[in-house]
Amino acid sequence: MNGVIVITTKKGRTGKNSIRVSSEFTIKMKPNYGDYDIMNSQDQMAMFMEMEDKGWLDHAGMMRSKDAGVFYKMYNLINSYENGKFGLENTPEARAHFLRRYEKANTDWFDILFRNSLQQNHSISFSGGSEASKFYVSTSWLNDEGWTIADKVDRYTVNMRGDFEITEKLSVGLQTKGSIREQKTPGTFNRTNDVVSGNYSREFDINPFSYAMNTSRTITPYDENGNLEYVRMNYAPFNILEEYDNNQINLDVLDLSIQGNLDYKFNKYLNYNFTGSLRYVKSSNEHLIKEGSNVVAAYNAGVDDPVIADDNKYLWKDITLPNSRPISVLPNGGFYNKENNTMKNLYFRNMLNYNRIFDEIHSVNVMLGQELKYVDRQYDFSNGYGYQYNKGGVVFTDPNIIKATNESGFSYFGMEEFRDRFVAAFANAAYSYNGKYTLNGTVRVDGSNRLGKSKSARYLPTWNLSGKWNAKEEDFLTDVEWLSNLSFRGTYGLTASMGPANNASVVFRNRITTTPYDSEKQNAMYIASLENSELTWEKQYETNIGFDLGLFRRMSLSVDAYHRKGFDLIAYVRTSGVGGEGWKFANYADMISKGVEFSLGTQNIVSKDFNWNTNLTFAYNKNEITNLKNSPMIFDLVKAEGGAFKGGPVRGLYSIPFAGLDELGLPQFYDQEGNVTREVYFQDDAVDHLKYEGSIDPKITGGLSNNFKYKNWTLNVFCSYQFGNVIRLYPSFHASYSDMDAITKDMKNRWLLPGDEKYTNIPVIASKRLKDKYGSELESTYNAYNYSDQRVAKGDFIRLKEVSLEYKVPKDFLKKMGIASASLKAQGTNLYLLYSDKSLNGQDPEFFGTGGVALPVPKQFTFSLKLGF
């Protein structure tokens, strides 16, 4: 688990110099509303009307709200008075007319924010050399004009490698790899971890996919005259298209690695090998937030509007002047924020290898080695305030923004360092008798600085034993025609890895105390983690047995079964709190994981011109936490990522048991005593009554591929599947809704009239009166519905993952043109979902969790051309 992967790439070949050229064109298809669970604008407007009837979306409330859509626009027009006329007359007819346009809008956000984009990747490589020296050089260029309207990527790579035999005993190799990536993305801030609710939130999120997924289809990007149309976000005007022009990130990444290796043959049997590499990565991230952006507008919203001034958290009040009004700390210009990440990685490995065969039957291999890893990482950032993009880049900073930043305990620049040191020594011995019986044993010791300065937990020895019996080589089987291969193998060993704890000795960190006045602030040091003298690595005993079977030279079967007993696993455990730390990372969990992996390949038709091969893979895994000293709260277990609970899987999903709707259409639940209640307290640690839904991770995964070859044509059809996992549906139900958010189609079947509770489980849209009566408790009732057994779907699917067709141009034809090889290939990826759970309303279970800054993997078509000279 701590092994380091040394990159082995293409080496040059002896003989004629060769040139390879390849070009690849990929078209990514826009997402489609058919694949997502989002209500259309007609249904949503009907819902708005019901909300209005129930006291929501009222004039005063909408003018005060932080984020608002169509209704806010309507009231804003009613409020505006110009040239002796109101922007909109406050009559039911005028209002209905105004809303009709948005009811019919049915905005296709995917169409607006995405494009059927083209990505191209071109590469050329040269290789050649002689017996004594070989070389390989390649370069490539990738260009992606962007699947969304706000993305763009260019990447250039170079790779050079030379291998030289200096003497018969000594050979060396040198390799340099480098890449440069230039990328443009929509502007995003880091997510904020809300320690109270345990959720993450991201301010000013303009990720195109999240925006399309979360924005109501009643909102329109353009008005009737084709001008940009605005809604309200953070008390300021917002239009997504304009935001992409004014809020963006430029990301540049430089990645360079140099690797060298040296081999020395002492004699026929003994061989020394050295590998060393240096990798240097620098990425810089430039976030430009211009004057016209919603972010800048939010920092200025409400300066002259007392209705929102007190609520807008981006305004600032000088605490030394208690009676002052909130003011803007960004009156001029926008932000110019930079982040840099650098990494320097050094790696060395020395190995001695002894290999000898005695009497032609006893084969012995002994290996001794040592490796060392050194990684230094640095992260720094600096935020520039008041950069005037529209005034020639002159900086005009209001010092209050620095004051405001300091007050909350943040800084406008900063730097952090991380150092990773790692050493290992290992020895391996293998013996094989006549190629029939093989025994192999490995011992290694790893050491790391990650656990802290204490020496007790620093090193960890591990070992591994394995054996193989090649039965086909036995005398009684060598002559069996139909049996082309039979062998058995098994391994048993201890592996270890480092968990997320680093407190083998006490960890102190620094901070500045939280007080409003600078004169009362102090430097402080605090205990980030108490010492854990018992801290050790996470460990696992793994047993693996398997066999390979080949029949009639047409069919091959490979089966592996494994049993992994994990112990000393790091868990976040609750303590009595008396020692000073209520939660600790500690080696206090055990887990058993077992499974079978199975792969069957058949050659169904073998002939001169036509071949048909099938390959089926199947994997089954089940894990169970056998020991865990934690006491999770309801929220820990019902959340979409699942939670760990003794006796359950690592990431199990649990639900609050739903008890039907009451006579008002409000959801009800069973509590731990079996009583029906509307009150669910997410921080409660009484969790025995929760319903176990299943694991977040699939139990069964696999694929089926069929490969057809006719002369120069190759067709490959690949389906993938997974079964046995569950998905928590989006938390779509709330005590109140805005006129901005996209809503699930399930909302169409909601409770409308008394009696409906017999036919539907979708709760009512709560009236304002009800909300006022129950206050914030009503929201937790609705949220409990989001986390109830009603809002779970199966994650099973079968997908047509890939179809590809390749044509190899006949050699005879190419020879005339001086070309050595040429092929054309067309490939479609993520083509069709053959089966999934109906309660997903068409959504793709494989990409269910995507959002934030990530994008789902689209349906795409690739055409490629490869030429060799």
Q: Which of 124, 137, 153, 507 binds another protein (CB under 8 A)?
A: 507
Q: What is the DSSP letter of 739?
A: S
Q: Name, in order, each residue with C-beta under 8 angstroms of 476's C-beta and a sequence gap of 6 or more.
A: none
Residues 552-591 contacting another protein, CB under 8 A: 573-582, 584, 586-588
Give the shortest CB-354-to-another protein separation in angstroms.
10
State how far Cα 739 lies from the chain centre. 30
Distance CA 395, CA 402 (A): 14
What does each C-alpha distance from 427 to 191, 354, 430, 435, 443 come to in angstroms?
45, 11, 10, 22, 5
| Position 170 contacts another protein (CB under 8 A) | no
- What value does the CA radius of gyration of the chain take, rounded to a whole number of Å? 32
For residue 29, count CB atoms less than 10 angstroms from its CB and return exposed for 0-12, middle for 13-18, buried for 19 or more: middle
Q: How many CA atoms lie within 13 A of 54 on its CB side?
A: 19
Give the shortest CB-360-to-another protein separation in angstroms.
23
Q: Which of 481, 520, 609, 688 binds another protein (CB under 8 A)?
A: 520
Q: What is the DSSP letter of 314?
A: T
Q: Which is nearer to another protein, 629 or 815 (CB)?
A: 629
Residues 378-397 contacting another protein, CB under 8 A: 383
Give the shortest CB-177-to-another protein separation in angstroms.
27
Token pair for 785: 């519905």
Give the shortest CB-168-to-another protein separation in angstroms.
16
Q: Which of 515, 604, 672, 749 binds another protein (CB under 8 A)?
A: 515
Token pair for 326: 């909130």
| Position 518 contacts another protein (CB under 8 A) | no
| Position 517 contacts another protein (CB under 8 A) | yes
Dmax over CA atoms of the chain, in Å, equals 109
Q: Which of 25, 562, 681, 730 binds another protein (CB under 8 A)?
A: 681
Backbone angles phi, psi at 244, to 5 degrees: -65, -30
Q: Which is nearer to another protein, 42 or 345 (CB)?
A: 345
Contact indicator for 446, 2 with CB cutoff of 8 Å = yes
Q: Which of 41, 183, 234, 786 binds another protein (CB under 8 A)?
A: 234
Distance CA 339, CA 414 (A): 10
- Write the interaction track for another protein spanning residues 789-828; mark x where CB under 8 A is met and - where it is not: ----------------------------------------
Give the shortest CB-82-to-another protein separation in angstroms.
32
Residues 192-211 contacting another protein, CB under 8 A: 192-196, 201, 203-204
| Position 79 contacts another protein (CB under 8 A) | no
Interacting stretch for another protein, rule CB under 8 A, among 3-11, 80-88, 546-554, 773-781?
A: 773-781
For residue 192, count CB atoms less than 10 angstroms from its CB and return exposed for 0-12, middle for 13-18, buried for 19 or more: exposed
| Position 167 contacts another protein (CB under 8 A) | no
| Position 513 contacts another protein (CB under 8 A) | yes
| Position 530 contacts another protein (CB under 8 A) | yes
Q: Which of 86, 141, 189, 552 binds another protein (CB under 8 A)?
A: 189
The size of the interface with another protein (CB under 8 A), counted in residues, is 97
Q: What is the DSSP letter of 435?
A: T
Interacting stretch for another protein, rule CB under 8 A, among 46-54, 140-148, 513-521, 643-651?
A: 513-521
Distance CA 821, CA 823 (A): 7
529 forms bridges with which residues in the sheet?
507
Residues 276-315 contacting another protein, CB under 8 A: 295, 313-314
Tokens 């289809």 sit on residue? 217
The three-state DSSP-derived secondary structure of 809-843 is CCHHHHHHHCCCEEEEEEEEEEEEEEEECHHHCCC
Give the shortest CB-453-to-another protein separation in angstroms.
6
State how far Cα 82 lies from the chain centre. 51
Token pair for 765: 């849209």
Token pair for 562: 């494994």
Give the shortest CB-465-to-another protein separation in angstroms.
24
Interacting stretch for another protein, rule CB under 8 A, among 173-181, 339-347, 407-415, 700-708?
A: 407-415
Residues 830-849 contacting another protein, CB under 8 A: none
Q: Which is nearer to another protein, 706 or 780 (CB)?
A: 780
| Position 413 contacts another protein (CB under 8 A) | no
Distance CA 760, CA 785 (A): 13
Q: Which is nearer to another protein, 527 or 676 (CB)?
A: 527
Residues 439-498 contacting another protein, CB under 8 A: 447-450, 452-453, 455, 458
| Position 506 contacts another protein (CB under 8 A) | yes
Give the shortest CB-509-to-another protein separation in angstroms.
6
Q: Which of 10, 362, 421, 815 binds another protein (CB under 8 A)?
A: 421
Distance CA 243, CA 297 (A): 11
* Amino acid in the structure at residue 266: F
Residues 615-674 contacting another protein, CB under 8 A: 629, 631
Q: Which is nearer to another protein, 8 or 519 (CB)?
A: 519
Backbone angles phi, psi at 760, to 5 degrees: -135, 155
- Write the interaction track for another protein spanning residues 335-364; mark x where CB under 8 A is met and - where it is not: -----------------x------------
Give the shortest CB-321-to-another protein separation in angstroms.
9
Residues 741-760 contacting another protein, CB under 8 A: none
H or E element, residue 656: none
Q: Which is nearer to another protein, 451 or 747 (CB)?
A: 451
Beta strands (DSSP E) in 166-246 are: 170-186, 192-193, 200-201, 231-233, 236-238
Distance CA 99, CA 46 (A): 11
C-alpha closest to that of 79 among 94, 66, 89, 68? 89
Q: Which is nearer to another protein, 266 or 835 (CB)?
A: 266
